[in-house]
Structure 1
Amino acid sequence: MARWNTKMQNDLIFAHYSLKIVPNSIDFSLFKIELVDNDNGNTIFQLLSIKVRTKKDGWEKITHFEIKEKSQDAISLELFINGIKTSLMKINIQNQSIFVDLVPIQDRIEWVEIDLNARDNEHFLGFGERFDSIDQRGKRITLWVEDGAHASYTYIPIPFYISSNGYGLFIDTNEKCIAQMATPDEPNIVSIRNPASSLKFTIFVENSTKEILSAYTKICGRPVLPPKWVFGPWKSRDWQTANQEGILEDIQKQKDLCLPSSVKLIDARWETAYHTFKFDEVKFPDAKKMIETIHSQGNKVVTWITPWMAVNNEHDPNDYYYACAEQGFFLKDEYGNNYIHQLGLNPMLVGSCIDFTNPEAIEWWQEQIRNLIELGVDGFNTDFGEQVPENVIFHNGQSGKEMHNIYPVLYNEITLQAMQKNNKPAVLLARSGWHGSQAHSVIWAGDQSSDFSLNSGMHTAIIAGQTAGVSGFPFWTCDIGGYFGNPTDEVTIRWTQLGAFSPIMMLHGAGKREPWEFSEQTLTNYRKYAKLHTDLFPYIYSFANQASETGIPIMRAMALEFPEDSHIWDELCENQYCFGSELLVAPIHYSFSRTRPVYLPDGKWRDFWTGTLFIGGHEISCRAEINHIPVFTRAGAIIPMLDPSPLIIDNSANEKMQFPSDNLKIFIYPGQDGIFHLYDGTMFTWKEEKQVLEITNSPTKRFVSVRMMDEKTGHKFIVVENGKQIETDPTNLDGEANFTRALVSNESVTFSLVSGN
């Protein structure tokens, strides 16, 4: 609960912080607002000035304030420019969040700006899925949903950032806001400009970077935990040539070649025209039977959709377009006509966007979604969403400029609702988004080039996964091999390794993506890492469950996991990340490399593959042969995997399919105590001093096979349940030796190490 300082009348105290409203030390006609940590006296946040812009006078700075009203946890200030009352500033404290609302008193204000202090060593995370860097210091960011995956463009801008100084800031707007984050011309200023007469923002002050992110995701919304099959490997075919025959060939080939697979993504051009929701019977003569066949092989079906409809089907008129136009389902121009414009990147493709503020258009759209669900479709790849022109008019009377950023939120939310009405697990794979999209979908990184380019290739995908995570999107993926063009074997191999250590692993692109169409080495590499990603399901799904409850992502920027370590802001650390809390992954994203530097933070670390011990706090050089990606674990890590390795994640009606059992392989990386909470409630605890693994709360009987990962060999465990030693089975699993295997139940079970040479 907040309270006012009895000595300092304008100090509002909450938790261990003070919000101070003080005159400027240089010019007492001005004022600033500071947030101070009372425990150490550090200033966390400092609002230096407020400015407004009018057509007549340009930018002017607020020069004076008067207190209008005070309550226990709030204050209202009247703001003046040269004696003229301009705006009202309302400040309210709730828990450890500060809600600020700047409301205009004069109707002539067109822009509002706030300027904050930026320290020399201050860094910034967030602003959505970015493709250029993790740290947004020095950037000028336009918060606008755009069709682009490089430099300053992004499909998913988010008006939220986290400062390394200990606060987060959410700009509550749908406008084309501009943020200047300590740019070279103003290195000690963070400037937020909103093209409107008002500005709302929220300041989060918590005990850690993770808690700040969690506080923000509580406002924007957290996604529901997706069904298990989402976390198995996905695959699509080149949309330009895909058909029923090719898709069924994929399913059979993946089975014949022992390639794990859980989702078949059917990309663009499956319809009679954009966007009829009807399978093209020339390409897909029996779509229903095709879907049934895919399901029988333990895979799910996700189809591509867009929020617009083309005027023509190649050279013929699209009858569906004109039927929808007649009913008023499209966005309009200023004269009330259907607004026709270019769709996507093809100048020959023109049409109109669906108006998701029109109740009749919404009902029509959701009916099409329900029809596909009844056909057997399991999810939707909601592409585009960035196409709304600024000068269109929506059914609700708002302009395209006002609705542009919020449009992808409506697009995905309305599609999601249609699935929920059918009692279907709602799975959307979205490309575009805005504040509020976090609760709706899995996202993917859009369209990278199929190479190692720093501006548009694999490097940008590594950045995108991390920045999406710190912006509230925990369920993320990218196109293995990139989207544009045919990747080389080397690009495919390295991107596959990144895909294996991504929340979702997906082969997708415009060009050759079939692993069997590449070299034998590339096929072998894909099999190895698709199998590993599938085996890691218990680990990934446990962190997915945590993400849906807390907003903390699976793929974590180093700055999120190690915020106190100044080295994590170095350029090297932008290309490595934590996968869950226990793994540190360092992808190879450049050609002909057989080594790469990796920074290990303080503490003990072990090589994921060999168990070799490393002492952190410095950079090391790692081997990186073509089939190898450097991965490390914290000492004390407990990594659960499926046993045996399945080909699918979802239980299938086809008994011949190899799907997961409840059995587990447990890899222990010793060196210090460790704990792992499995998604089903089972708890694994490693006690380093006693060299004991405790297993408690297992909801089912299962075989658990334990292996110690260190420099020694010949490890053997004695297994005890309720004080009684139970039978063990020294086991080789998938060619790996030194496992101790025992049947455990919901009773407390301990694996005690007795030997290791």
Structure 2
Amino acid sequence: MKQLLTLSIVLTCLIVVAWSVSPGSTNAAPEWQSYAPPHWILGPIQGADGSEKIVLNNLDQITRAKIPITAFHFDAPDWQSCTGNLQFRYSDAVLDQMRARNIRGLFWVVPLIGLNCPEYQVALANNYFVKDAQNNVIVTDNFTGHGSWIDYDNPAAVAYWRSLLDSLRARVGNVLGGFYTDSVRPDKRNGVVAYGEAYALDLLDYTRTYVPDGDVVFKRYGVNTPSDAWLNQYAHVAYVNDLPTNFSGMKTGIERVFATTPLMPLPYNEFSGFAKAAPDSETYIRRMHWGAFQPVMENVPFGKQPWDPSFTPQVMQVYRYYAMLHRELEPYLHSYDQAAFEDQTPIFRDMDASRYSARLGNEFFVQYVTDYTPAVQIKLPPGVWINYWNEAEVFKGNRTIMYRAPLGKEPILIARGAIIPMRVYSNLTGHGTGKSEYALTVNVYPIDHSTFRYHDTTNGWLTFDVKGPTRRVALCTLGNVPSEPIIYRIASIAKKPDTVTEQNGAVGINTAWGTPLPERNNKKAVGRNASGWYYETNANRLWVKISTLGTDCPAP
């Protein structure tokens, strides 16, 4: 297929070693490496198709439940006034709600125009559609629509298709976050992968050109979807096709995400599954844990949403908790995503597809629950691991344990020494309060010395550095200065400190240096004030906030 699409970026000028373990890798740096990854794509993402009433009900339900989604996925052709004309058919009420909550739109798009659309006649009259060997326009009829496919070998056809994208962009404005791709050309199943790649590449170029912080969700394991070599070169994020909603489908989703991890930074499985048969309440809850501990969390069920009355009330409670936890982890996940852009290091590590477990970054080890069971066997990696749900419970690594996993408290283990940056919006997860939002919360699990490389969107890379496992602890930022106040949430502080001090961005606990910080009455007061500290006696946890930032790092 002729290369008709001129990217506004240089696709092959950077030469570095590609993902060393990726199938189909080349010596060229991935094209996505040229762009800063957007935060919003990490989710949580909520999706639905259907009427405006259904979409508004989705937005109302997540608003009422305070589920902090970053994007809404308009799935299937339903959001269009006619299949493939790319005209947003919903009223401004939808867009107004999204703008009010800073929710981006992720639009399902394939380059097919429906037979009953006026745009079809325009494209037909101008020879914009793909034809068969007998020079007849190909017409297909499946879930993508009943119509014909834009000819990517025809520059005029591509220009016409882009004019339809322009109309969508003009209509929805800054709500546009990006696009969600799908299988194409059912007339030649897996016989025209080049067509799928041309469609994907043009959509990527359009997004990069007109949506500076936009993204395109590609598809693996589909019909005529891009090859692994193409995905390795261009894809930042991709889903692993529609799968059953039962535990078997969940297992396949985990296996596929693990297998796709070497290709790109953000492979993911829509945790709801996508099939007519809805999961039962227990399966849905286990799947929510899987969704929260992927780099991208998306809920886009084919049928029932988690607030459906057929589910137990716990389903919605757990969805709210895990969605909030995933959103809080955005600074942590974004730092790993940015690192993947720069050094091509996968975010998932130590993946075990036979046990359905993995490390998400270095700080979390997660065992997914993939069956009806009250307990799971966990093979721990080397190190020392802290139970997220009960930080007093600590496990020595490099051994196998039995772990009780009640619904809504699936296995999440934190490495001792972990430093985990978070964005906390409320008191739901216990990581802060509503006063925490305008500071970066940094969870610390001290050992002798540990660091975390954090990507500050404004000031770039900096390093959190923590020294001292005993009563004397120093917490510092090295390299660049943070662009916002810091709330340290420090675990395993056995006794209330004698002093908590600050010196040019460094925090000292029982040290001989620095200016004393004021003690506050509670953690909410810590968040509300510019600086201060509070010792949470029953949790052996210290909360410290500083707003005077710097890069001093004296010894503890």
Q: Is TM > 0.5 for Structure 1 vs Structure 2?
A: yes
Q: Distance in 1 between matches of 2:106 and 2:15?
A: 41
Counterpart of 2:417 (choices 623, 636, 639) is 636
C-alpha offsets along residues 347-381 of structure 1, whole Å, 9 cap, x if unaligned?
A: xx543222222111111111111211111241344
* Structure 1 equivalent of residue 38 of structure 2: 227
- What secondary structure, in the 3-state scheme, does the structure 1 residue paired with 2:489 have? strand
Matched, 1:686 2:474: no
Matched, 1:623 2:404: yes
- The Cα of 1:223 is off from its aligned counterpart by 6.8
Q: Distance in 2 between matches of 1:327 and 1:234?
A: 38
Relative to 1, partners in 2 of residues 1:582 and 1:170: Cα closer, same or farther, differing over 3 Å? Answer: same
- The Cα of 1:617 is off from its aligned counterpart by 1.6
Counterpart of 2:267 (choices 455, 466, 476) is 476
Q: Distance in 2 between matches of 1:512 and 1:352?
A: 31
Q: Of Structure 1 and Structure 2, which has the larger fraction of its residues in helix? A: 2
Q: How many residues align?
A: 497
Q: Answer yes or no: is the 8 Å Cα contact 2:349–2:361 preserved in 1.
A: no
For residue 545 of structure 1, what is the amino acid of its counterpart? Q
Counterpart of 2:323 (choices 530, 543, 565) is 530
Counterpart of 2:243 (choices 448, 454, 458) is 448
Relative to 1, partners in 2 of residues 1:264 and 1:302: Cα closer, same or farther, differing over 3 Å? Answer: same
Residues 12-91 of structure 1 mapped to structure 2, 5 A cutoff: none
- The Cα of 1:669 is off from its aligned counterpart by 2.1
Q: Answer yes or no: is the 8 Å Cα contact 1:693–1:751 preserved in 2.
A: no
Q: Distance in 1 between matches of 2:447 and 2:516?
A: 27
Residues 730-749 of structure 1 mapped to structure 2, 5 A cutoff: 731-732=522-523, 738-748=541-551
- The Cα of 1:389 is off from its aligned counterpart by 4.5
Relative to 1, partners in 2 of residues 1:717 and 1:498: Cα closer, same or farther, differing over 3 Å? Answer: farther
* Identity fraction in percent: 21
Relative to 1, partners in 2 of residues 1:407 and 1:646: Cα closer, same or farther, differing over 3 Å? Answer: farther
Q: Answer yes or no: is the 8 Å Cα contact 2:88–2:171 preserved in 1.
A: no
Relative to 1, partners in 2 of residues 1:272 and 1:295: Cα closer, same or farther, differing over 3 Å? Answer: same
* Structure 1 equivalent of residue 282 of structure 2: 490
Matched, 1:339 2:138: yes
- The Cα of 1:423 is off from its aligned counterpart by 4.8
For residue 517 of structure 2, what is the amino acid of its counterpart? E
Q: Answer yes or no: is the 8 Å Cα contact 1:685–1:695 preserved in 2.
A: yes
* Structure 1 equivalent of residue 75 of structure 2: 267
Matched, 1:360 2:156: yes
Q: Distance in 2 between matches of 1:306 and 1:577?
A: 33
Q: Distance in 1 between matches of 2:320 and 2:135?
A: 55
* Structure 2 equivalent of residue 302 of structure 1: 106
Which runs of no fewer than 5 residues in structure 1 stay unpaired? 1-93, 99-159, 163-167, 172-201, 203-215, 312-316, 392-399, 560-567, 648-657
Relative to 1, partners in 2 of residues 1:615 and 1:335: Cα closer, same or farther, differing over 3 Å? Answer: same
Relative to 1, partners in 2 of residues 1:292 and 1:752: Cα closer, same or farther, differing over 3 Å? Answer: farther
- The Cα of 1:222 is off from its aligned counterpart by 3.4
C-alpha offsets along residues 492-530 of structure 1, whole Å, 9 cap, x if unaligned?
A: 111111111111111102101143643221111111111
- The Cα of 1:683 is off from its aligned counterpart by 1.8
Q: Answer yes or no: is the 8 Å Cα contact 2:16–2:28 preserved in 1.
A: no
Residues 233-244 of structure 1 mapped to structure 2, 5 A cutoff: 233-237=44-48, 239=49, 242-244=50-52
- What secondary structure, in the 3-state scheme, does the structure 2 residue paired with 1:464 have? helix
Matched, 1:724 2:514: yes
Matched, 1:698 2:481: yes
Q: Distance in 1 between matches of 2:34 and 2:196?
A: 16
Q: Distance in 1 between matches of 2:346 and 2:106?
A: 23
Q: Answer yes or no: is the 8 Å Cα contact 2:254–2:269 preserved in 1.
A: no
* Structure 2 equivalent of residue 670 of structure 1: 446
TM-score where L is the length of structure 2: 0.80
* Structure 2 equivalent of residue 707 of structure 1: 490
* Structure 2 equivalent of residue 39 of structure 1: none
Matched, 1:502 2:294: yes
Counterpart of 1:411 (choices 199, 204, 208) is 199
- The Cα of 1:324 is off from its aligned counterpart by 1.3
Residues 35-434 of structure 1 mapped to structure 2, 5 A cutoff: 162=21, 170=24, 218=29, 221-222=32-33, 224-237=35-48, 239=49, 242-268=50-76, 269-280=78-89, 284=90, 286=91, 288-311=92-115, 317-344=116-143, 350-376=146-172, 377-387=175-185, 389-390=187-188, 401=191, 404-431=192-219, 432-434=225-227
Q: Distance in 1 between matches of 2:37 and 2:337?
A: 8
- What secondary structure, in the 3-state scheme, does the structure 1 residue paired with 2:79 have? coil
TM-score where L is the length of structure 1: 0.60
Q: Distance in 2 between matches of 1:256 and 1:613?
A: 37
Q: Answer yes or no: is the 8 Å Cα contact 1:692–1:752 preserved in 2.
A: yes
Determine which structure has more spread, i.e. the larger CA radius of gyration: 1
Q: Distance in 1 between matches of 2:341 and 2:545?
A: 32
Which runs of no fewer than 5 residues in structure 2 stay unpaired? 1-13, 220-224, 429-433, 505-512, 528-535
* Structure 1 equivalent of residue 4 of structure 2: none
C-alpha offsets along residues 82-112 of structure 1, whole Å, 9 cap, x if unaligned?
A: xxxxxxxxxxxx99979xxxxxxxxxxxxxx
- The Cα of 1:643 is off from its aligned counterpart by 3.5
* Structure 2 equivalent of residue 60 of structure 1: none
- Structure 1 residue runs of 4 or more that deviate by more than 6 Å after TM superposition: 94-98, 750-753
Bigger drift between 429-438 and 357-366 goes to: 429-438
For residue 437 of structure 1, what is the amino acid of its counterpart? L
* Structure 1 equivalent of residue 250 of structure 2: 458
Q: Distance in 2 between matches of 1:95 and 1:641?
A: 34
Relative to 1, partners in 2 of residues 1:161 and 1:705: Cα closer, same or farther, differing over 3 Å? Answer: closer
- The Cα of 1:383 is off from its aligned counterpart by 3.0
- What secondary structure, in the 3-state scheme, does the structure 2 residue paired with 1:406 have? helix
* Structure 2 equivalent of residue 197 of structure 1: none
Q: Distance in 2 between matches of 1:643 and 1:667?
A: 11
Q: Answer yes or no: is the 8 Å Cα contact 1:370–1:418 preserved in 2.
A: no
C-alpha offsets along residues 258-294 of structure 1, whole Å, 9 cap, x if unaligned?
A: 22122121122122332121234xxx3x2x4421332
For residue 587 of structure 1, what is the amino acid of its counterpart? Y
For residue 490 of structure 2, what is the amino acid of its counterpart? R
- What secondary structure, in the 3-state scheme, does the structure 1 residue paired with 2:119 have? helix
Bigger drift between 250-259 and 543-552 goes to: 250-259
- The Cα of 1:245 is off from its aligned counterpart by 2.5
Q: Distance in 1 between matches of 2:129 and 2:15?
A: 43
For residue 454 of structure 2, what is the amino acid of its counterpart? L
Q: Distance in 2 between matches of 1:412 and 1:713?
A: 57
Relative to 1, partners in 2 of residues 1:510 and 1:618: Cα closer, same or farther, differing over 3 Å? Answer: same
- The Cα of 1:306 is off from its aligned counterpart by 1.3
Bigger drift between 491-500 and 726-735 goes to: 726-735
Q: Distance in 2 between matches of 1:223 and 1:475?
A: 16
Q: Answer yes or no: is the 8 Å Cα contact 2:446–2:490 preserved in 1.
A: no
Q: Answer yes or no: is the 8 Å Cα contact 2:332–2:421 preserved in 1.
A: yes
- The Cα of 1:708 is off from its aligned counterpart by 1.2
C-alpha offsets along residues 375-427 of structure 1, whole Å, 9 cap, x if unaligned?
A: 12413443323436459xxxxxxxx94xx223333212212222333354222
- The Cα of 1:724 is off from its aligned counterpart by 1.9
Q: Distance in 2 between matches of 1:220 and 1:504?
A: 20
C-alpha offsets along residues 136-182 of structure 1, whole Å, 9 cap, x if unaligned?
A: xxxxxxxxxxxxxxxxxxxxxxxx983xxxxx7647xxxxxxxxxxx
- The Cα of 1:628 is off from its aligned counterpart by 1.0
- What secondary structure, in the 3-state scheme, does the structure 1 residue paired with 2:502 have? strand
Q: Answer yes or no: is the 8 Å Cα contact 1:719–1:750 preserved in 2.
A: no
